Amino acid sequence: MSLPNIKDIQNLNAKEIEVKIIELKKEIFQLKLQKSTRQNIKPHLFKHKKHQIAQLLTIKNKSIN
């Protein structure tokens, strides 16, 4: 699974970006919860989710300026 591409999210508006950021943070929380309870998880998903959040925040900051 490759890292998500920034081109996929460039056409989102500010409200959609906020919703997506919250959704990704919830997913990261769920992954951490699964990890702490020793459930089977795919560790690369942490990196992918954090990468997506960084991309969304970059686009959000560009649209503000």
pLDDT tens digits along 8-45: 788 888 899 999 999 999 999 999 999 999 999 999 99
The residue extents of the domains of the chain are: 6-64
Task: Name the CATH topology of 6-64.
Answer: Helix Hairpins (1.10.287)
Residue 25 confidence (pLDDT) = 97
pTM: 0.86
Q: CA-based angle 5:62:58, to the nearest 5?
A: 45
Report CA dihedral (10, 16, 20, 22) to the nearest 10 degrees: 140
38 burial via Cβ count (<10 Å: 0-12, 13-18, 19+): exposed
